[in-house]
């Protein structure tokens, strides 16, 4: 076990999350936060929760960058970042990331929305100034990352593709997946679908969900270069 690695749980409180994702409830996010902490503790890696109370900065990029920087300043050589909106996240993903970091590889856990549910980065490759300048939450982000990655010729270790809870379609896809979920989260997500099914899931169509399917991509790139 690489004890120079710390977990950064970059996740808001349940009440704050619901402000962004009205299609879910505080009850669901409370369960997700509890599940995320459980996975973090099971990994036996030191972990730090950075919610809206601890985040510093105006934009997502500033808050995310400052959170990572704060962990490195605590003396850790590696940081694994995760959120609270990936129900299928397992402890094994954290351990796989830690193993890759021991080999000085950047680690990405890609999410279906084109972002990532997990990123592992070493202190040696973290450049705060470049990190802040990335075009977060724009369609130019991946191209920027690809360019930097190609120039530096660095190796990226990818974990399996998972789904973040960004809209109601994601909820339905997760429930229909063969991947295991905690019973509490499963029941709450199913309750959400049942509550809105008569309106937005008629004939299994999502064309009526425009008021529910906001883009909640956290701005995290699918490819991330050593910076």
Question: Would you list the DSSP string of 13-78?
Answer: -HHHHHHH-TTS-HHHHHHHHHHHHHHHHHHT--EEEE-TTT--SSSHHHHHHHHHHHHHTTT-SE
- Which one of 113-117, 178-182, 197-201 scores highest in mean pLDDT? 178-182
Tokens of 108: 């990405």
pTM above 0.85, yes or no: no
With b meaning 16 or more CB within 10 Å and e meaning fewer, what string describes 40-50? Answer: beebebebbbb
CA distance 191 to 178: 18
Cβ-proximal residues to 58 (8 Å cutoff; 6+ apart), any chain: none
The mean per-residue pLDDT over the stretch 200-205 comes to: 44
> CATH for 1-227, among 3.90.550.10, 1.10.645.10, 3.30.530.20, 3.40.50.300?
3.90.550.10
The mean per-residue pLDDT over the stretch 24-36 comes to: 95
Query: What are the extents of the domains in the chain?
Result: 1-227
The pLDDT tens digits for 102-154 are 888 788 888 887 778 998 999 988 888 888 887 776 656 555 655 565 556 66
Q: Is 216 helix (H, G, I), strand (E, B) or coil?
A: coil
> What's the alpha-carbon Rg for the chain, to the nearest Å?
17
Residue 37 confidence (pLDDT) above 80: yes
DSSP string, 7-21: EEEE---HHHHHHH-
Residue 3 confidence (pLDDT) above 50: yes
């Amino acid at each position: 076990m690489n004890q120079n690695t710390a977990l950064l749980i970059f996740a808001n409180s349940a009440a704050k999350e619901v402000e962004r994702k009205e299609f879910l409830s505080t009850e669901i996010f409370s369960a997700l936060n509890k599940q995320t902490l459980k996975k973090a503790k099971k990994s036996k890696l030191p972990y730090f929760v950075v919610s809206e109370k601890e985040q510093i900065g105006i934009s997502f990029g500033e808050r995310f960058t400052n959170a990572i920087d704060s962990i490195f300043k605590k003396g850790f050589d590696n940081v694994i970042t995760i959120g609270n909106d990936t129900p299928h996240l397992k402890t094994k993903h954290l351990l796989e990331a830690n193993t890759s970091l021991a080999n000085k590889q950047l680690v990405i856990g890609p999410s279906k929305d084109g972002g990532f549910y997990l990123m592992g980065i070493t202190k040696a490759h973290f450049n705060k100034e470049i990190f802040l300048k990335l075009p977060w939450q724009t369609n130019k982000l991946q191209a920027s990352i690809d360019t930097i990655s190609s120039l530096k010729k660095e190796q990226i270790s990818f974990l399996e593709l998972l789904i973040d809870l960004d809209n109601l379609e994601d909820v339905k896809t997760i429930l229909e997946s063969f991947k295991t979920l905690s019973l509490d989260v499963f029941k709450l997500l199913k309750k959400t679908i049942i509550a809105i099914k008569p309106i937005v899931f008629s004939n299994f169509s999502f064309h009526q969900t425009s008021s529910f399917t906001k883009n909640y991509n956290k701005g995290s790139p699918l490819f991330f270069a050593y910076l």
